[in-house]
Structure 1
């Protein structure tokens, strides 16, 4: 019997330092997130970062928290229900970090008689700190607890035509009535070394202007290429001229060289360049979360206005968009019917 496991990032149980701290510890101690030797990672995370970050993060979470709980979890649960209603195989929901564990999701499917899982990390673009860590953990759990199960993985969907159409339509709908000067595609940042580590050719990635547009097997796992390709296909579909859009990366940590240009730096410079009406879309996410609602929707908005901007629009993620729900259901039905 076949079944599906949808997996997203996760969330603290509450927007308090007490609950944020263990969540951040689990997240930041993941060797695919901070990819340094264990002792150094433990020193950085537990000796430095977790001394102040839980309080700051809790304050940020408290600004976006709803009566139902974490927006990411609430949206993901609604997506799960809607997709389940559109398919004929069992669908479970899990989070990489927090209490809604992947093991619980796999157990739920096993209890329903599932022996073959379609694993769908809810990230359009592949990255070791998002997609890979989900895939690796799921396989470890399969070997240890569910040896009779088989897992089929959707590594990424950044260039699937139906996803691109959904994203383009959503952007178009949310821009209706907003006379924007510029559309910014802001993707979650990652360290440049992560790009090099996922280069299966071990030679293609040069981190320059040409490697991401030069065909290579490396692109199957190249986050940078996949971000550029998502942007390219969307603006082509919407007919947005080159001078009216750009691409940046947000949410960087101090210390390492991360993908650039940086979202906050670029947004703060835009008003001085004559960009007074700015729209921002965040296509590295399919569900709104801390990085989209607080970092972009609140902080970036406030800084844009402080620097002379006038109108700012944070375009929501696909969330529970009905066409997006149909797309996920179609992927599941195609897999369940044809394999």
Structure 2
């Protein structure tokens, strides 16, 4: 059997043209694991409301962060894929959950090279319905319909793996070296609170309070909120951060339903008003810089901070295509080749 790897990231519009952005947003927001309401309600919300107003605004935001080579997320993901491919002798393909770089194309690329066993690597440290789960579900659908010959395994969430924490901590330390900051904010992508409850395999542990995420439970295997807080805790321990000098928040909420709190934008505003003058932000839910990090945090976040009296605002880059991050993935892939994936990242 020939093995191969499929790296998967979120995706991006093909360009900053509002038409391309609208097409991308339609696919993204119509995913029932992103907006998990009945289809009729999703159509009404997305195609009846959001897509009539948001594409132009989102296109303007994308135009602020777009690189000459294209979408930063796509370019960075391609650089990471090439680095990994140079270090191993099995095929490594790249796909996106949404957009023109489809999962089907990625699987087909591997199948055309004779691959029969695929390791899918969702490029998300923490598990969530709207990220890892939707990738795995879509891959499973494609495998059954188009690639029955492929045996597929998915890399589990790696938010608490020591080697990942070490690299993330190192990247933060390097970015902030020589800088004096009052507070380090760990900002994670937000999800609706109901996603946390839906992912609770115990059907009763997750209360979304100040207790459940810090009480041992099997539910933590698929609890995005717990995994975010645990990432923060482990990095804070690694960097020996003092209590009160760091915290966790959640960004990018949509609609009127309750989302995970505290919200990043309000946290930035509150801290600026409370006298925090030098603030740093890291975004550990993303491994690649993208619209949410380059525009929402580095631009909008900084503007909010300065408006309320803040002075220095520093954003820590995502891991992107760092050599040490690529090396972690290479090591997991190599171990998978000779064992099983649970052992590979144990």
TM-score calculated relative to the size of structure 1: 0.99
Structure 1 residue 302: deviation in Å?
Answer: 1.0
Matches of 2:255 and 2:151, distance apart in 1 = 40
Residue of structure 1 in register with 2:35 after alignment: 34
Structure 1 residue 16: deviation in Å?
Answer: 1.4
Structure 1 residue 148: deviation in Å?
Answer: 1.1
Matches of 1:42 and 1:338, distance apart in 2 = 44
Residue of structure 1 in register with 2:270 after alignment: 269
Residue of structure 1 in register with 2:52 after alignment: 51
SS at match of 1:83: helix
Residue 10 (1) aligns with residue 11 (2) = yes
Deviation string, structure 1 residues 270-305 (Cα, Å, up to 9, x no partner) = 122121000000000000000000000001001101
Deviation string, structure 1 residues 111-136 (Cα, Å, up to 9, x no partner) = 11111110110000000001100000
Residue 199 (1) aligns with residue 200 (2) = yes
SS at match of 1:206: coil
Residue of structure 2 in register with 1:242 after alignment: 243
> Could you list the runs of 5+ residues in structure 2 that have no partner in the other structure?
341-346
SS at match of 1:208: coil
Residue of structure 2 in register with 1:217 after alignment: 218
The CA RMSD measured in Å over matched residues stands at 0.6
Matches of 1:338 and 1:131, distance apart in 2 = 22
Matches of 1:198 and 1:191, distance apart in 2 = 12
Question: After the TM superposition, which residues 1-339 of structure 1 pair with which residues of structure 2 at under 5 Å, given as runs?
Answer: 1-339=2-340
SS at match of 2:81: helix
Matches of 2:97 and 2:173, distance apart in 1 = 31
Deviation string, structure 1 residues 122-170 (Cα, Å, up to 9, x no partner) = 0000000011000000000000011011111112110111111000000
Matches of 2:254 and 2:140, distance apart in 1 = 29
TM-score calculated relative to the size of structure 2: 0.97
TM superposition outliers: structure 1 runs of 4+ over 6 Å: none
Matches of 2:155 and 2:117, distance apart in 1 = 14
